[in-house]
Amino acid sequence: MFGFFEKKKVGGMIAYYDLQNWWLNSFTSQEQGYIIKKFQPLGTGDSNDLITGSISRCSQSVISFLQSLSGWFNNRQNRELAMKILNKAEELSMLRVESTMGNLTEEEADIILDKHFLYHQIIKTYYPERNSKPGALEKAMDACQKQIALAPLAAKAFRKKWKESSLPAHTGYDQLVIILKKQHKLEEAAALCQEASKEGWAGWA
């Protein structure tokens, strides 16, 4: 049922986001079948629209789609799949440019928040593997640092999209402070705490 998929037969969300080559070249046929079986966003129990059908419009960006897809595989058994998906999302996110001047447009806010939530997902995927996968801790720390570097813009984007709401928790700050404390780098951790508090992120304000 889930054998080799010829490119011309790959439709659905993968085709909508022009990810056919990535899909065919990054996963074995067994992995493709497993992803299709597990990814059930509507709880339908069938093969859904990941690679079938024709989709003409979707409100999600490709970064948001891949970040969401990876979340279905963020567990001990499937994190290698989640990492493959997140690697593609991060690659594509590097092609997107956000403004650093003046008021953000809706499109700029969306781009910034896409990257903010992507780094969140990378941290949540790699940090649990810190003791078992070489490089996982470094990857998680890198994502923390990138999310923190983006934090002032992310705060602006959150406030633009949800004007009446306080800022949420910030995974990058939260996780990196924990890591630094475990490494006995208390001054660096304290400086991050002050930075997060100044920006107004939940848990630090």
pLDDT in tens, 132-167: 999 999 999 999 999 999 999 999 999 999 988 999
Dihedral of CA 45/86/139/101: which sign? negative
CB < 8 Å & 24+ apart, contacts of 88-96? 88/19, 88/22, 88/26, 89/62, 89/63, 89/118, 90/118, 90/122, 92/62, 92/63, 92/66, 93/63, 93/118, 96/63
Structure tokens at 176: 């990196």
Which domains are seen in the chain, by residue range?
1-58 (no CATH), 60-199 (1.25.40)
Q: What angle do CA 113, 170, 176 make, to 5 degrees?
A: 120
pLDDT in tens, 66-94: 999 999 999 999 999 999 999 999 999 98
pLDDT at 132 (0 to 100): 94
Structure tokens at 81: 């799949």
pLDDT at 101 (0 to 100): 54
What DSSP string describes 24-51?
HHHS-HHHHHHHHHH--TT--SS-TTSS
Cα separations in angstroms, 39 against 73, 115, 190:
9, 22, 41
- Cα 177 from Cα 128, distance rounded (Å): 16
Residue 166 CB-density burial (10 A; 0-12 exposed, 13-18 middle, 19+ buried): exposed
pLDDT in tens, 1-52: 444 445 458 999 999 999 999 999 999 999 999 999 999 876 555 556 899 8
Residue 138, amino acid: E
